[in-house]
Amino acid sequence: MSIKIENFEIGANRVFVIAEIGNNHNGSFERATQMVDLAVEMGADCAKFQMRQLDEVYRQRTLRKDGEDLGTEYVLDLLRRFELPVQQHQQLADYCAGKGILYLCTPWDQRSVDVLEGLKMPAYKVASADLTNLPLLDKLCSTGKPLILSTGMSLREEVQITVDFLNKRKAAFVLLHCNSTYPAPLHDIHLRWMEKLREIHPLVGYSGHERGTAVTLAAVALGACIVERHFTLDRTMEGPDHAASLEHAEFKCLIEGMREIEQALGDGRERRISQGEMINRENLGKSLVAATALKKGTVIKPEHVLVRSPGQGLSPQHYEKLLGRPLQRNLNEEDFFYPSDLKDERIEPRPYAFQRPWGVPVRYHDFQEYNLRIKPDLFEFHLSYSDMELKPDDFLKEVHPCGFVVHAPELFANSRLMDLASPDEAYRAQSVLETQRVINITRDLKRFFPKTKRPMIVANIGGFTMDEPLPASVIQAYYERFAKSLAELDMEGVELIPQTMAPFPWHFGGQRFQNIFVKIEEIVEWCNKLNLRMCFDISHTRLTCNHFGSDFYAFAEKIAPLSAHLHLGDAQGLNGEGLQIGEGDIDFVRLGKILRKGCPQASFIPEIWQGHKNGGEGFWTALEKLEGTL
């Protein structure tokens, strides 16, 4: 089987190569044309870009940054700065034609399809985030053009639903195997899944976000009919795709390539969504939202429903299941529908009983909602860099009888991660300044929570690298720079508590390497040297122990006496982070005994991936399961 795109026969003996420029031009038309020239020189068949109408892709509430998740705020900030205007896309299409390379573009919404039809597109690429967006796919099918669809962030059954949808409309298409993290860790790529995709649809290619080239070569060896790779002029440029891109000239030695392929082939089992993909599925995906305010009891009709990003609510694939159901709750305009809206009952909070202080994570915008529904011992405020510009008085209003904790932002403005241990002195100094701002905000919050005399600030303090872990010989210097940063901070009246970290943190939906506050021996040593207490992140630490093959419960016994605060979530494998209690590898009854002995006064929150969705449904489930263990 094969399909035609212009003069290219896809599925024949020649691999069709897409150079994905995307938004890696960072908003510069001159840079975009320079990259087209390089794509021609590289021998690529196609230079591909992206187009979005932001008011069509995102909720108005999201565009206003009305309390959205940190990842969504970051993505929107980049899109507003880096999107090219329509007229420059026309110029790029003409420029590509003059250079003898195919111009393609990914539309992220239906208005962009209309624009691109005016540019006489020969085919359309569909992003992983829109594989489940049946209304957009229906629009693309109506053009009669071939489609190339990435399958990252989707399960097998979701791929099958979309394939059935396209086959019913007699569309010509190719599926691309993809892991939608940037960069993608080798153990998450699972190239053997290409074989299973081929059982669903015969034309299968590969869209890669891994470091280097060896895995992509392996995909070609496994029969990929299309290969798509991001490319950039400089991998260190701002934006999430650069780190996962290839520069013009990149070489790997044979042995590196062989080892990468060994890791990347996977086990051929069911498609799994990695933690980084879960992040990007939320940030980039689509949801069903209320087109207008709806009252409890309303029977859902098509005019009540819109498809909008981010992907934090009910998937558009459940659109038909939602229609005809009576609502079990009131919805405001642009509120998400959730899977619970397909059921007849909702999970609601109740009074909980624990032997230690407990709370839930909140942001300014949802504090009042939670404060009306539950009476915890504390609230943990998770700040984003945009939250740091807000006035707490606009959200908190009055004095509250409970305590509070602050979680410092990991990401600051201009795509800068906090790194109090950085060898780049200017970067470290900037991180100190931003951390001091967090400290000052925390002091200010004490007005509303006078019960907390010395509030804790949970922080991911840095020490990460992009491409490989640090050698042991330089680790001490990182801790020493962190100690220097601590000495430069005015921490009067607050307590900074580093968080135990996993070896593979997720930054911007892509894997990095964490080098400090990971191993228990180093944590104990430097907590004693610097008179620090820790936030014991249970899920992070389980992933650490899984990676190093060490005893998690022995780690817990050593960290407990140093633990001032706990983040509780389950974990599995190397990156199954923030799972619901009972869905991972952790024995919480056994862990609870260790914690009761080692840190009986330490407070805790449930830290469940997207636990705040649907009115805190994930938190209430976790608290139910944790009762009796803590």
Is 353 domain-assigned? Answer: no
CATH number at residue 173: 3.20.20.70
Within a domain: 597: yes
- Output the domain CATH number for residue 525: 3.20.20.150
Instruction: For the full predicted model, state whether its pTM sits above 0.85.
Output: no
Number of H helices, E strands in the chain: 22, 28
Residues 141 and 171 in one domain: yes
- Check whether residue 103 and residue 155 sit in a common domain: yes
Domain check: are 262 and 292 in the same one?
no
Total domains present in the chain: 3
Task: List, as one string, the DSSP characters of 556-621.
Answer: HHHHGGGEEEEEE-EEETTTEEEEPTTSSS--HHHHHHHHHHH-TT-EEEE--TTTTHHHHHHHHH
Is 138 found in the same domain as 96?
yes
- CATH number of the domain within which 291 lies: 3.90.1210.10
- Is residue 103 over pLDDT 70? yes
Does the residue 4 lie in any domain? no
36, 90: one domain: yes
Q: What share of the chain is helix, strand, coil (3-state, %, to 5)?
A: 40, 20, 40
Same domain membership, residue 391 and residue 293 = no
Query: Do 137 and 263 have their domain in common?
Result: yes
The rounded distance, in Å, linking the Cα atoms of 408 and 418 is: 9
The answer to whether 129 touches 181, Cβ cutoff 8 Å, is no
| 3 inside domain | no
pLDDT tens digit string along 375-407? Answer: 999 999 999 999 999 999 999 989 999 999 999
pLDDT at 620: 96
- 273 lies in the same domain as 293: no
pLDDT at 335: 93
pLDDT value, residue 461: 93
Residue 367 in domain: yes
Residue 122's domain comprises: 13-283
**Last residue of one domain, picked from the residues 283, 313, 328:** 283
Examine residue 227 and state whether it is found in any structural domain, yes or no.
Answer: yes
15: confidence class by pLDDT, cuts 50, 70, 90: confident
pLDDT at 86 over 50: yes
Please enumerate in sequence order all residues whose Cβ is within 8 A of that of 318, keeping only pairs 6 or more positions apart, or say none: 288, 339, 342
pLDDT of residue 414: 78
Together in a domain, 334 and 466: no
Q: Are residues 89 and 142 part of one domain?
A: yes
Cβ contact 110:142 at 8 Å: no
Tell which wins on pLDDT, 478 or 58: 478
Decide which of 413 and 354 is more confident.
354
When pLDDT is cut at 50, 70 and 90, the band that residue 288 belongs to is very high
Q: Is the CA virtual torsion 322, 328, 334, 337 positive or negative?
A: negative
Are residues 325 and 471 both part of a single domain? no
Do 205 and 290 sit in the same domain of this protein?
A: no
pLDDT band at 68 (very low <50, low <70, confident <90, very high): low
Residue 53 inside a domain? The answer is yes
